[in-house]
Amino acid sequence: MKYWREPLDRGRCEVPKGKVTIIDKRCKGCRFCVEFCPRKVLEVSKGFNEKGYHPPEIARPDDCIACGFCELVCPDFAIFVDQQASCPPPAAKAPKTQEVGAH
Amino acid sequence: MTEGHDEHDLQHHNGSSSVHRDRSGTVALHERHHRETGEHPLDHLLRPGRIPHIWCTGCGLGVVLTAYLNGIQKAGVDLDKVAIVSGIGCTGRIAGYINLDSFHTTHGRALPFATGLKLANPELKVSVISGDGDLFAIGGNHLIHAARRNVDMLVLCVNNFNYGMTGGQVAPTTPVTARTQTSPYGCWEHPFNLPYVAAASGAVYVARWTVLHARRLVESVAEAVRHPGFSFIEVISQCPTNFDRPNKGGEGIDLMHFYEKKTVVKNGIDPKEADIGLYTPIVCGKFVDQSKPTYDSCYTNMCTMARGGKK
């Protein structure tokens, strides 16, 4: 994800992780979840559901941050997100941000 | 054997129903259960077997329903004391989908019914969810008087700028120059500015959001349910089948992108400045938040006074 500027507490924040579940048979193919996902986790699938719509598919499951906007914006109760264990803060992997903070 | 089976069924039924009845404390439990079984976390608040609903692809009404259900849970009120009243129209169908006490009234009469409900049983949390045609055309008079009396209820008005269910005729909210079934050359009437009407009539909480502002709408519903007095929330929704097609507004998703780009959030402004034209920028926000004695408290005080101070 591109940042307009680096958030000051980025090194200390844990990023939540989500697991998206799609109830295919309820989907009416409006694409709200696909277009308004802030991390672009979903894509429109090539396959059809039983009503003849293209339901979304999870293209990048690791990118989900469990914001839950897809669940809120779905008009058909066809998608929901479970929050999983959070990822460790990026600082643990890249101590560079801490060095920058120390200056 | 049969008896045992019946008894088991009955027990099972009673068991699940008691869980349903005790909704206030078990909402989180329900959600977890649903998530574990792969069902939607709001399924316990939807009438079984009624989903999929009848609304078109790209319609915003499903989002309003989701936001309302989330908001009412967030408000922390006892769900056994919540009553939902709706009138006629696409939005009026909402009462039939919610698995709480709900009533689907005749056209335009949702507010008188809800007022009676509140007066007869003041501990109920009454919500009226209806469309612009139902609340401001045939029910316009009821709305201004319910707001004037400050009856303690939440009114969630979904504005899609036309009479969607009957094929897209001109409504009191249709913007000037919009084409509809009954204005093929463009509408020439001045529309209502709904938050302005509600605020001028005496509503104590007035807000407007679009269906894209789902998260703010949830917050607003939770806030308005707890707010004593007449709370009014207008939700701008697209009608891709009957309004946006003749006006070349595109599909549901195009309208959502329009809301994303052209909405301005201005909290606390005079609702007079929140007029809406055809695909012009929409001013959203919480416009009015004040407190005033409610109708039932005034009525109770008056009764006490008339009895010479005795309760």
Model pLDDT for residues B171-191, shown as the tens digit of each residue: 999 999 999 999 999 999 999
Indicate if the pLDDT at residue A24 is higher than 50: yes
More confident residue, A102 or A77: A77
Question: What is the spatial distance between Cα B27 and Cα B74, in angstroms, rounded to a whole number?
Answer: 10
Indicate if the pLDDT at residue B290 is higher than 60: yes
**Most B-contacting residue of A76, A83, A84 (CB-CB within 10 A), to test interface:** A76
B252 band by pLDDT with thresholds 50, 70 and 90: very high
Q: Which of B18-32, B154-168, B282-296 has the lowest mean pLDDT?
A: B18-32
**Which amino acid makes up residue B143?**
L
Tell me whether residue B15 is in a domain. yes
**Is residue A32 within 8 angstroms of chain B, CB to CB?**
yes
Q: Which two tokens stand for residue B232?
A: 């009014």
Kindly state the average pLDDT of the residues B146-172: 96
A27: domain range? Answer: 15-89
- Residues in chain B with CB shorter than 8 Å from the CB of A19 are none
**pLDDT value at position A10?**
80
Q: Which of B210, B169, B190, B193 is nearest to B270 (CA)?
A: B193
Kindly state the average pLDDT of the residues A88-99: 53
Tell me whether residue B191 is in a domain. yes
> Who's near A98: CB < 8 A, 6+ residues apart?
A11, A91
**Is residue B40 within 8 angstroms of chain A, CB to CB?**
yes
pLDDT in tens, B80-100: 999 999 999 999 999 999 999
B80 — phi, psi (to 5°)? -70, -15
Strands A15-22 and A79-87: antiparallel
Tell me whether residue A58 is in a domain. yes
Total domains, chain A = 1
Tell me whether residue B306 is in a domain. no
pLDDT in tens, A52-71: 999 999 999 999 999 999 99
My answer on whether B14 and B142 are in the same domain is: no
My answer on whether B170 and B27 are in the same domain is: no
> Who's near B79: CB < 8 A, 6+ residues apart?
B23, B24, B27, B45, B72, B73, B100
B26: domain range? Answer: 2-37
Give the position of tokens 């319910």. B146
Burial B100-139 (b: 16+ CB within 10 A, else e): bbbebbeebbbbbbbbebbeeeeebbbbbbbbbbbbbbbb
Burial of B250: CB neighbours in 10 Å, binned 0-12, 13-18, 19+: middle
My answer on whether B195 and B293 are in the same domain is: yes
Cα angle B174, B180, B183 (rounded to 5 degrees) comes to 90
Tell me whether residue B305 is in a domain. no
Indicate if the pLDDT at residue B2 is higher than 70: no
Burial of B302: CB neighbours in 10 Å, binned 0-12, 13-18, 19+: exposed
Q: Which of B39, B215, B253 sits opposite A35 (nearest CB)?
A: B253
Q: Which of A44, A41, A48 is nearest to A69 (CA)?
A: A41
- Interface confidence, given as ipTM, is 0.83
CB spacing of B40 vs A77 below 8 angstroms: yes
My answer on whether B79 and B161 are in the same domain is: yes
Other CB atoms within 10 Å distance of the CB of residue A2: 3
B31 band by pLDDT with thresholds 50, 70 and 90: low
**Which chain B residue lies closest to A76 (C-alpha atoms)?**
B62
